[in-house]
Amino acid sequence: MLAGIRDPSLRARGLEKISWARRFMPVLDTIAGQLDLTGRRVGLVLMLEPKTANLALTLRDAGADVIVTCPASEVADDVAAALAHAGVTVLARSDASPADDRDFALRMLREGLDVLVDDGSRVVRLAHAENLLDGLVGAAEETTSGLRPLRVMEDRGELRIPVLAVNDARSKYLFDNVHGTGQSCVMAALDLTGLQLAGEVCVVAGYGYVGQGVARYARALGARVVVSEVEPFAALRAHHEGYEVLPLLDACPEAGLVFSATGVAHTITGEHLRAMRPGAVVAVAGGVPDEVETGDVPPGVTVLAEGECVNCAAAEGNPIEIMDLSLAVQALAVEHLVRRGHAMAHAVHLMPAELDERVARLKLRALGIGLDTPSARQREFLGSGL
Amino acid sequence: MSDGHRRAQTVIQNILRLTNLLMAGKRVAVLGHEPELAARLRAMGAQTLVTDPAGALHGHRVLPAERALPVADLVVGAKREHLGLLRDGAILATAEPSADLFAVPAGTTAEPSAELLAVPAEPFAGPVGTRVRDGITAYRLDADREVFVLDGAYGPNHGHEASVPDGAYGPDHGHEVSVPDGAYGPEHGREASVLDRAC
């Protein structure tokens, strides 16, 4: 059987990265002291890097037995080594084949988890398909694209555990999807290509939260941004925020850099790729498999990271401060499932608003940002119903 | 495209790649005349602090360096004379190698003068940095303050394609990095050209 990690000797370097990240994770740090997961077994399926390692350590410190797995393309072997040394079970290595990755996920599920934290709902779906749900109280899902299939399963009556939609917490999507994925995907594309954005045309397919962030950061660095949408309100929103809105095929010929930010397969097709000029670069922000049809890329056009989410596959993922928020929500979701999961319907549930707000308030406190309190006269106005 | 625009993007790329941090909401002091860089940082959501009064017309906060540095999370273009003013945890993108920033200048005694450093001389008697991550060295200024210096984020290599520092870590990695006295050769110690160049 394949060893869980690739190279234990990398742990010192991994520990350094984990410690650097921890300096910028005040919210998770605060929550860490307030959790009790004694005797619980928690499975984490998140991109294995320094920030998520801090979530694993936080859950371990709260008394949980933590198992981490992750597809090969998203594994930092040094971080994996540091976590393994710290007493976390790690089943993730950068040289694993897709079959190994699946085997790792199955091994994790067979350990008998109380709670599963998933990214893309791959392992939640695997657990359903392989009938490995015994004892699983519930799962927390990190992403928009992971929640979509779970909601389809719920509608069909096929979902057999409660799922907390961590992605849909405001502390998560308002910042992680917009600023985290936005900044990091734009920067990863520039790091990989050496492209100078000033004066360049950047096309963003999809103007959801991720697309809004990508557009914002591309514009910040001097690009002229063109947005493509299928949804009328999103298109109008992009228009009002000052972006040119065009059908994707019409936008392609001018583009120096094209982002797919739809989270929908077959967004950028062979026809789009053929409409691009030589030198054009295509990247996926967020992302699902086959978002870019990479089977037939014309010469001169480059698809970054083989069409996987560019900031995860080719850089260090989202910025640390952003993941502090998202992973704090994850930590609270794990505890909520442990406490309440048994009584929750087999459905996709929103994070309880008070937990969501707790994360936002802790972040404001860490930043030293104060809030106003509504005055008596304001409360009276609000209470009057006008 | 102007040098200033090219440098602006490159500096931002370097900072974010080396630190894995978010620019939005950071208080960033931009020292020297770098209008394109300041504008890009502001557009990315940074709260920019500049010394040039004209910066106010571009949405920057205008402050003298001695008031900007104590509140800055990130300082672009920091030099030796700024060390005494930095806050704990400040991140520095410097125009000179960190060795230059902290080392005893050539031709002086091993005991750096307070006037040169504008900080208590003692911590620099044996300036030693600790590598905390690829491309980031921590320097302890005094009991309460530690600052982080980014390798080459704003250095003489600016303007070139970003080199991803994979494998940049040599066998020394993980150990304390002692400042290589004079290791930089004759060019070492010259005034940073980047800051002085008009853009």
pLDDT, averaged in runs of 10, over chain A (386 residues): 88 95 97 95 95 97 96 93 96 96 97 96 96 97 93 97 97 95 97 96 98 98 98 98 98 98 96 97 92 93 94 85 97 97 97 97 97 95 85
Which of B20, B23, B28, B176 has the most A C-beta neighbours within 10 Å, making it the best mutation to test the interface with A? B20
* Segments of chain B scoring below 70 in pLDDT: 1, 96-101, 103-127, 155-199
Write out the residue range of the structural domain in which residue A277 sits: 178-313
Q: What is the pLDDT of residue A312?
A: 81
Q: Do residues A212 and A227 share a domain?
A: yes
| CATH code of the domain containing B49 | 3.40.50.720
Considering only CB atoms, which residues of chain A are within 8 Å of chain B? Answer: 12-13, 16-17, 19-21, 23-24, 50, 179-180, 183-184, 187, 190-191, 194, 196-199, 217, 219-222, 315-317, 319-322, 367
User: Domain for residue A382, yes or no?
Assistant: no
Q: How many CB atoms lie within 10 A of CB A240?
A: 9
User: Domain for residue A272, yes or no?
Assistant: yes
Q: Do residues A121 and A64 share a domain?
A: yes
Q: Do residues A263 and A338 share a domain?
A: no
Radius of gyration of chain B (CA): 16
Asked if B85 has any chain A CB less than 8 Å from its own CB, the reply is: no
Asked if B58 has any chain A CB less than 8 Å from its own CB, the reply is: no
Which of A25, A179, A369 has the most B C-beta neighbours within 10 Å, making it the best mutation to test the interface with B? A179
Q: What percent of chain B has pLDDT over 90?
A: 48
Domain count, chain A: 2
Report helix, strand or coil for A203: strand
Q: Chain B: give the shortest CA distance to residue A93, in Å.
A: 18
Q: Do residues A150 and A272 share a domain?
A: no
Hey, are the CB atoms on B16 and A319 less than 8 Å from each other? yes
Show the tokens assigned to A380: 């009276």
Asked which of A298, A313, A328 is the last residue of a domain, the reply is: A313
Q: What is the pLDDT of residue B198?
A: 31
Q: What is the pLDDT of residue B126?
A: 40
Show the tokens assigned to A275: 């409409």
Q: Do residues A184 and A295 share a domain?
A: yes
User: Domain for residue A380, yes or no?
Assistant: no
Burial A14-29 (b: 16+ CB within 10 A, else e): bbbbbebbbebbbbbb
CA distance A212 to B13: 20
CA distance A334 to A267: 34
| CATH code of the domain containing A97 | 3.40.50.1480
Report helix, strand or coil for B50: strand
Q: What is the pLDDT of residue A35?
A: 96
Write out the residue range of the structural domain in which residue B108 sits: 3-196
Instruction: Find the Cα–Cα–Cα–Cα dihedral A321, A326, A332, A333, rounded to 10°.
Output: -170
Q: Which of B17, B29, B43, B32 is nearest to B153 (CA)?
A: B17
What percent of chain A is helix, strand and coil (3-state, nearest 5)? 50, 15, 35
Q: Do residues A149 and A42 share a domain?
A: yes
Instruction: Find the Cα–Cα–Cα–Cα dihedral A44, A49, A50, A54, rounded to 10°.
Output: 0
At a CB cut-off of 8 Å and minimum separation 6, what does A197 contact?
A186, A190, A218, A221, A222, A223, A257, B9
Q: Do residues A125 and A149 share a domain?
A: yes
Place of tokens 């940002």: A369
* Backbone angles phi and psi of A109, in degrees to 5: -65, -35
| CATH code of the domain containing A209 | 3.40.50.720
Asked if B20 has any chain A CB less than 8 Å from its own CB, the reply is: yes
Place of tokens 């930010």: A261
User: Domain for residue A255, yes or no?
Assistant: yes
User: Domain for residue A379, yes or no?
Assistant: no
Q: Chain A: give the shortest CA distance to residue B112, in Å.
A: 30
Q: How many CB atoms lie within 10 A of CB A167?
A: 23
Tell me if B77 sits within 8 A of B94, measured CB to CB: yes
Hey, are the CB atoms on A219 and B174 less than 8 Å from each other? no
User: Domain for residue A47, yes or no?
Assistant: yes
Helices (H), B20-46: 35-43
DSSP A179: I
Tell me if A46 sits within 8 A of A344, measured CB to CB: no
Domain count, chain B: 1
Q: What is the pLDDT of residue B97?
A: 60
Q: Do residues A49 and A20 share a domain?
A: yes
Q: Where are the beta strands (DSSP E) in chain A?
A: 41-45, 65-69, 89-91, 115-118, 138-141, 163-165, 201-205, 224-228, 244-245, 257-260, 281-284, 302-303, 348-350
Asked which of A251, A278, A313 is the last residue of a domain, the reply is: A313
Q: Do residues A288 and A328 share a domain?
A: no
Q: What is the pLDDT of residue B155?
A: 58
